[in-house]
Structure 1
Amino acid sequence: MQSRNQELIKPVTWFGPSLNKTKYFRGRRRFDKGVDYAGSLFKAPFLQQLPDDFKLNIYGAKENDQKLAEHKSIQLHPRIDPEAIPLLLEGSYGLIWDSEQYPEVKGSLGQYERYNTPAKFPMYLSANEPVIVWSHASTAPFVRANQIGLTIESLDQLPNAIATVTEKQYNQMLTNTIRIGSLIRSGFFLKKAIFDVMEMMYVQTE
């Protein structure tokens, strides 16, 4: 009889950011344009706890969001075709965050980011936009290794984390992001994962 305490199967390869075929053609981003969040403000109440002067662009706003956005530095954009969003993002960073509370990550959806790679991740990067992710998310090591954004422990760290980035540091981060964005749009990471699997198959048959 097999034990219930079985180890998980070791992954064959890491997929990385998925393919996003956006034909991105906008100019270089600036470091003082605030943070983009793709999703409804109504479903992200944690954003309401950020300072009133924190510049935030919401993409996917619904009617209920109008009341929530009062007296805040929030720019609401209606829901649009997901394929068009990368060309419309106006901010300096793309935020990937899910939680039932503020400021820590709480709830099953937030914890799921320890293992999942959200669709927002390659979407922001395909638009040459640096990202902000939870420091315990599965995507955090990739962000740190490639220096393509910020990783934070809790959302109350966000304003200060952005404020401490100089224009020179942001431009270097942006240059790194542009390189990764090009790879995502060409499907590089998907192709690499396929070749990794093929290599292991050939090695096992030798």
Structure 2
Amino acid sequence: MNKVYIARNYRSKFDAAGKAKMDCETILQNNGWKNIGLKQTWIANSILGTLISVFSVTLGILRLKKGSTLCLQYPFHKFYGYCLWGAKLKKCDVLTIVHDVRSLKGKYGFSEKEIAILNQSDKLIVHNDKMRAWFEQQNIKPQLANIEAFDYLHTDQPQAVRTPINVEQIRVVFAGNMGPFIYELDHLERGNFKFDLYGVGFDASKIHDRENTRLDYKGCFPADKVIDCIDGDFGLVWYGNSLDSCDGETGQYLQYNNPHKLSLYLLCEMPIIIWDKAAMADFVETAGIGFKVSSLKEIKQRLSELTPEQIAQMKANVLKVKADLQTGQYLSRALKALNC
């Protein structure tokens, strides 16, 4: 089988949004897939970056040999349809790695067009059982496999600090865009925990009581540096406005997608606290790498009940999953499940 993919330009080597796709290209190469486009680049200028991607895709289609298997990553904006056209023209099979499904993001509504586009693939790698079931309800035609968790390629740095847990003050980390619920965390009943925040959008003026806040903003770091900067005990996967549920479009999407944030936490060697309706909640519990809650108001009791032995076991389980994530094993297994 002639297995190929087409590398593209990404806005930055340090952009969290593009890291999952960049990592997928590397993992494909490690599994014997060949890049038939230009080399992967990281140029921030949108016009120049788009031109590079145009040339890369066009070169890839010209180089594409009849009967090959072409791996695409979705969404690929204006280029996905172009690649499909080239693949079908040369009678190639198409494997698509699905990163985002616009139809599941609420604000876009259900799109028959999106399903029709993805139906042109021969095989799809989707996030998890929940997303797979949704696709099956839409009568999707391609063969499906789950990635289970998105890999996060990284080499541990010796300067990374991992402070042993202090059960008297457990550090719960939230990394990413600061949603409205962040400032409500101060309203939780006090316990043996605090919140360390990493990312963009933090507004100290929204803190209700600066003298007694449990929020500690640590700053914002590039995607390839943040793993070595985060030093915490548990990673929080939560979105929206409320402490009681992950509401809004982002919260609803959490019921289907694999947040890259979860993989980031695991590489930081932290067990996970996750909304119980999130698609990844079962993965967290089955792997023994954290616990799920229906409301953030449950955190105080859940953390207070954990014994040092239970926390040590969670962290040991985290290290096992981390080893697979940082070496690309999850995508590799999905490829093998589809005989790719």
For 1:1-206, what aligned pairs fall within 5 Å after superposition?
7-9=137-139, 12-25=144-157, 26=160, 27=162, 29-30=164-165, 32=167, 33-41=170-178, 43=180, 44-51=182-189, 54-60=193-199, 62=201, 64-65=203-204, 67-68=206-207, 70=210, 71-198=212-339
The 10-residue stretch of structure 1 (106-115 or 96-105) with the greater mean CA deviation from structure 2: 96-105
Percent of residue pairs bearing the same amino acid type: 22
Give the TM-score normalised by structure 2. 0.52
Structure scoring higher RCO (CA < 8 A, sep ≥ 6) equals 1
| Number of aligned residue pairs | 194
Which segments of 5 or more consecutive residues in structure 1 lack a partner in the other structure?
A: 1-5, 200-206
Ranges of 4+ aligned residues in structure 1 off by more than 6 Å: none
The 10-residue stretch of structure 1 (120-129 or 103-112) with the greater mean CA deviation from structure 2: 103-112
Q: Give CA-to-partner distance per residue, 1:170-190, whole Å, 9 cap, x none.
A: 000100001101110000001
- 40 and 52 in structure 1: CA distance in 2 versus 1, 3 angstrom threshold: farther
Give the TM-score normalised by structure 1. 0.84
- In structure 1, how many angstroms separate the alpha carbons of the residues matched to 2:166 and 2:145? 34
User: Greater CA radius of gyration, 1 or 2?
Assistant: 2
- In structure 2, how many angstroms separate the alpha carbons of the residues matched to 1:57 and 1:105? 19
Per the TM alignment, residue 36 of structure 1 is displaced from its structure 2 partner at its CA by: 0.4
- 46 and 82 in structure 1: CA distance in 2 versus 1, 3 angstrom threshold: farther
- In structure 1, how many angstroms separate the alpha carbons of the residues matched to 2:226 and 2:139? 36
Instruction: Check the 8 A contact 1:133/1:150 in 2, yes or no.
Output: yes
- 171 and 66 in structure 1: CA distance in 2 versus 1, 3 angstrom threshold: farther
The SS at the match of 1:142 is helix
- In structure 2, how many angstroms separate the alpha carbons of the residues matched to 1:73 and 1:182? 32
The 10-residue stretch of structure 1 (18-27 or 86-95) with the greater mean CA deviation from structure 2: 18-27
Q: Give CA-to-partner distance per residue, 1:139-165, whole Å, 9 cap, x none.
A: 011111110001111111111111111
- In structure 1, how many angstroms separate the alpha carbons of the residues matched to 2:179 and 2:331? 33
- In structure 2, how many angstroms separate the alpha carbons of the residues matched to 1:162 and 1:78? 25
Which segments of 5 or more consecutive residues in structure 2 lack a partner in the other structure?
A: 1-135
- 141 and 78 in structure 1: CA distance in 2 versus 1, 3 angstrom threshold: same
- In structure 1, how many angstroms separate the alpha carbons of the residues matched to 2:254 and 2:334? 20
Amino acid at match of 1:83: D
